[in-house]
Amino acid sequence: MNQPWFPQQIIQRTVTVAMVLLLLRLPTAAADDVLWLAEPAGNWEKEAFPLGNGRLGCMVFGGIEEEHLQFNVDSLWTGDENLEGDYRAPGMGFYQNFGDLYVAFDTKGPVADYRRELNISRAVCRVTYEQDGTTYVRETCCSYPDQVIACRMAAGAGGKYSGRIRLVGAHEEKTTAKQNRLAFTGALTNGMAYEAQVLFTVEGGTIEPNGGTLVFSGCDSLTMILAAGTDYIMNYTRQWQGDHPRALVTSQVDRAAGRDYPALLASHVADHQSLYHRVAIDLGETEVSQLALPTDKRLEAIRNGTADPDMDELLLQYGRYLLIACSRPGTLPANLQGLWNNRNDPPWHADYHSNINLQMNYWLAETANLAECHRPLFDLLTASLEPFRKVTKLSYGENIRGFTIRTSHNPFGGMGWKWNIPASAWYAQHFWEHYAFGQDKVFLEEVAYPYLKEVCQYWEDHLKELPDGRLVAPNGWSPEHGPTEDGVSYDQQIIWDLFTNTIEAAQTLGVDADYRQTLSRLRDRLVGPKIGRWGQLQEWMEDRDDPKDQHRHVSHMFAVYPGRQISLSKTPEFAKAAAVSLEARGFGTVVGWANTWKTALWARLLNAENAYTYFHKEVSANAYPNLWNGCWPGRVFQIDGNFGITAGAIEMLLQSHAGEIHLLPALPQAWATGSVKGLRARGGFEVDIQWQAGALTKATIRSQQGRTCRLYTRVPVAVLNRGQRIEVEGLEEGVIAFPTEEDQSYVVVSE
């Protein structure tokens, strides 16, 4: 805005300069988890830093002559229900880039002390540098409470900001400039309406529109507020379409711009930390000299053999950070790229893939204490039920009960590539797990159980009887690996899991006693896991696994992780066979999600060093400088690996799938001494663990629901509550049990 110069602005200018100096004097708190690079980002997927509020996301480049923020909204999709059922059909659609914001600065010349950091403890990206004797600071966040991206650009001296702002839509929209606001609006080929607006306020100086851009001059600071939205609503009966987003986007911008930036930032940080700080991790000490390096150089040193347990911690927390940033109540679930995408034809459509990827995105949600971030998955799957049923009927006949899913799907219930028949049952596991951890009976009754039961009905009607009376899933396919045939282990194991979870759900709710019996009889007749000629866990009914086969999918290990049909304590022979198969798959693969699945599998098989080998591969081979995971080395970012590595690492520290809480089940030598706080175990427990020289020293188990706690322990332990030792019951070998009260803590110490 053009404003005359008057004394109040002198005061403001002094305040701005003082704030910058204060910001600069405030070093990043030592305890904060930070990624940082000493250069602006050149490459979107490897170097730019992601921010997000579950729905709206951006990538910060941090350029010196020009700041670049690329942004997305999770629902900006082409496509529809895709009744053609072909992934190449326009109905499958693609997740779209929304647009880019460029702020070009007139100041030129060399810079010193450039630093671009992503503080994941605060979810704030900060760029600082010195140019011509002046310190510049830019801070960007993406707020969930305010639903905007906010960026504050300040300098250690007044009047330093002059330049031009461009807002560029990714679909050739015309950007309009009015006063201090830029906006564009558009509609995709499927009719989806969308709009983005950005508003800049300046202190000192002027800002004015100029041919679709904003020009600013002599400003002390700039504060940007960007909002964007689409008319998508997660409601099939309304054809997924709500109101035009203009009114909401305008009010989001106006409301946020009317707030003080420090207040907006403070509520953003408080919101983020209410989730982020639930978990704290210490896996050892990194040398100060290694710690001082920028993240890319740190990764390089790790590749050259430097130990860096703090990087392991960072990667583990980064998965949590990313889930908070791309999956919050009310948003779409995390797609193959979370919610970040700079193309209109992203790899694999940046869709929802059901044969490992979408599930892996949520493997950490419960254990890493982010249960509410799991909700978008249930919301979309529930909202998609009608179109899923419809497409199932179109393919399998009108009289079908239940539904099944293809390998890829979009936010309109439209499906793409190849049937993945047990996918709906695998998804059902997530509904059950959300209950198993949090014990929310209302969710179980109203959301989870109806879903599980409907998928069971599909399988009741589809299981095929063999001449000997056993049951198999017909025409299955071990994903992306085997031929189409009956009784594929992947199908059999997932159906076992579905029936088991549904039986337990019905028991918990005290409903459907007869149906429980039916499911239980069906489950007993399923063809179960088989051990083949070289001691391996068979991938198919026929014993034809090739010991030299190193395929990336390990679908026949579902029963080990994320399933629970096979465990060392309950089914040791099958667990040993799974280890033989996994060993044969080799340690050579560098496909991101495959490594992280193997981390979790080896953790479940209690082989700490193998689990760590795969974990470490993710750090050394697949982590880009921004710590995003390269699915295939050197190309194609895919976020499942980031989520999978966190889930896998947690499985090394705590397990609870086999009926007992198992502390430190697969602790590797690299993490000999450390602690973790706030992990979750099934049954409604939160767990803190401390250990030294590879051995448990103390654990605290907080009971949230007052359930009996069953604990697996290899060494004798004492259990204390309110400082008093309590009686424990010895069960089978290594397992103790004790009753708990709701909201009470129980301290476990080795004797």
The residues of the shown chain that bind ligand FUC, judged by CB under 6 A, are 336, 348, 353, 355, 357, 480, 591, 593, 631, 638
Min separation Cβ 600 and ligand FUC, Å: 16
- Nearest CB to ligand FUC, comparing residues 426 and 685: 426
Q: Could you give the CA distance from residue 184 to residue 189 in angstroms, rounded to a whole number?
A: 17
Q: Name the residue with the smallest CB distance to ligand FUC.
A: 348
Token pair of 36 as six digits: 């940082």
Q: How far apart are the first and last CA of the chain?
A: 71
**Coil, strand, or helix at residue 4?**
coil
Min separation Cβ 336 and ligand FUC, Å: 6
Min separation Cβ 353 and ligand FUC, Å: 5
Pick from 618, 640, 696, 629: which is nearest to 664 by CA? 696
Q: Could you give the CA distance from residue 316 to residue 708 in angstroms, rounded to a whole number?
A: 30
Min separation Cβ 750 and ligand FUC, Å: 42
Contacts of 225 by beta carbon, 8 Å cutoff, 6+ apart = 148, 149, 150, 198, 199, 200, 253, 256, 257
**Coil, strand, or helix at residue 612?**
helix
Residue type at position 300: E
Phi-psi group of 638: left, alpha or beta (phi > 0 → left; psi -120 to 50 → alpha; rest → beta): beta
- Pairing mode of beta strands 674-681, 635-637: unpaired
Task: Dihedral sign for Cα 287, 293, 298, 302, please.
Answer: negative
Neighbours of 495 (CB within 10 A): 27
- Nearest CB to ligand FUC, comparing residues 369 and 555: 555
3-state secondary structure 400-442: CCCCCEECEECCCCCECCCEECCHHHHHHHHHHHHHHHHCCHH
For residue 449, CA distances in Å to 196, 261, 371, 659 come to: 40, 45, 18, 21
Establish whether the linkage from the previous residue to 562 is cis, with ω within 30° of 0. Answer: yes
Min separation Cβ 661 and ligand FUC, Å: 32
Neighbours of 635 (CB within 10 A): 9
Phi and psi torsions of 495, nearest 5°: -70, -40
Min separation Cβ 135 and ligand FUC, Å: 44
Q: Could you give the CA distance from residue 156 to residue 77 in angstroms, rounded to a whole number?
A: 42
Min separation Cβ 375 and ligand FUC, Å: 23
Q: Do residues 118 and 133 touch, judged by C-beta distance below 8 A?
A: no
- Nearest CB to ligand FUC, comparing residues 430 and 552: 552
- Nearest CB to ligand FUC, comparing residues 591 and 654: 591
Min separation Cβ 330 and ligand FUC, Å: 26
Min separation Cβ 642 and ligand FUC, Å: 13
- Nearest CB to ligand FUC, comparing residues 480 and 583: 480
- Nearest CB to ligand FUC, comparing residues 298 and 552: 552
- Nearest CB to ligand FUC, comparing residues 309 and 346: 346
Min separation Cβ 129 and ligand FUC, Å: 38
